[in-house]
Amino acid sequence: MDIQEVMDVLKAILVDLGISAESLHEETLLYKDLQLDSTETVEVSLGLKRRLGVSVKLESRQDMTLIQVCGLIEAAVATSSQ
């Protein structure tokens, strides 16, 4: 799975939460720009687990851009498939 596929999944999860697709870019920050609360952050983590089979605890991290989140996910996918 490449980073663009991961980005597409992440964006789909965020759109499912009611966030406008037009506001989602690689440099968009989860907390500052999207203003995700802790519940929404957990929902994103659960969505990633369901769709990609990887656990990424976003709620315990500093604010991250979407591309940084995708990098974490890509690394987790690579590790889980070894």
Chain segment 44-73, per-residue pLDDT in tens: 999 999 999 998 888 777 899 999 999 999
pLDDT for position 68: 95
pLDDT for position 82: 67
Work out the average pLDDT over 33-39.
93
Work out the average pLDDT over 14-39.
96
pLDDT for position 35: 94
How would residue 5 be classed by pLDDT, with cut points 50, 70 and 90?
very high
Three-class HEC string of the chain: CCHHHHHHHHHHHHHHCCCCHHHCCCCCECCCCCCCCHHHHHHHHHHHHHHHCCCCCHHHCCCCEHHHHHHHHHHHHHHHCC
pLDDT for position 7: 97
How many percent of the chain have pLDDT more than 70? Answer: 99
